Amino acid sequence: MEKRKYVSLGVSLIIIGITFFISNLIEGFNWKYLWAIFFIIPIVSLISDFAASPETKKHHIFPIFLLSQLMVFFIVWAAGFHYEYMQQSWPFFVIITGTSLIAFASFKKEAKSLYIGTFLIILGITFLIFTFGIFNMKILAAIWPIFLVIGGIFIVIFYLKFKK
């Protein structure tokens, strides 16, 4: 167990070092956009722990997918958008959480995680449509209580279906 932790840390440092070295070779590249690469340390640690005993470490799937998606999101966002529209990107975090739950559900074979993940993705896409102005924000201001009702229905269904 201890050996695997040191190997994970070593692999993480190698990946981070190579990334910073490559960024030094690109003239004019600003290294401050690479801060999200530090997500790699817990990702590699969780993956190595999961790989050692996948049957008992299925709970690692959610944070592996969540952190991996967040790392990619922040690297792409920093390189492409330079944080100009970050206040409008919050629905992506709901979608990322939903996709991580779906990945978790596929490994764990849990229907409730699949339903919750699907609900979060639909909710995130809905908020994304309103946030980027495809629909008028006044509509969302008027109908937001419906999301509470839908969430309540999901909770009741989960309780009745899965609580035995």
In a domain, residue 66? The reply is no
Through-space distance between the first and last CA atoms of the chain, rounded to whole angstroms: 37
Q: What's the number of domains the chain is made of?
A: 1
CA–CA separation, 103 and 159 (whole Å) = 22
In a domain, residue 156? The reply is yes
Instruction: Tell me if the pTM is above 0.95.
Output: no
Q: What are the pLDDT tens digits along the chain (164 aa)? A: 567 667 777 888 888 888 778 777 877 766 666 777 788 888 888 888 888 887 778 888 899 999 999 988 888 887 776 666 777 888 899 999 999 999 999 888 888 888 889 989 998 998 888 787 777 777 777 887 888 888 888 778 777 776 65
CA–CA separation, 83 and 64 (whole Å) = 24
Per the CB < 8 A criterion, the answer to whether 107 and 58 are in contact is yes
Q: Which domain holds residue 92?
A: 85-164
In a domain, residue 158? The reply is yes
In a domain, residue 139? The reply is yes
Q: What angle do CA 83, 137, 152 make, to 5 degrees?
A: 100
CA–CA separation, 64 and 45 (whole Å) = 9
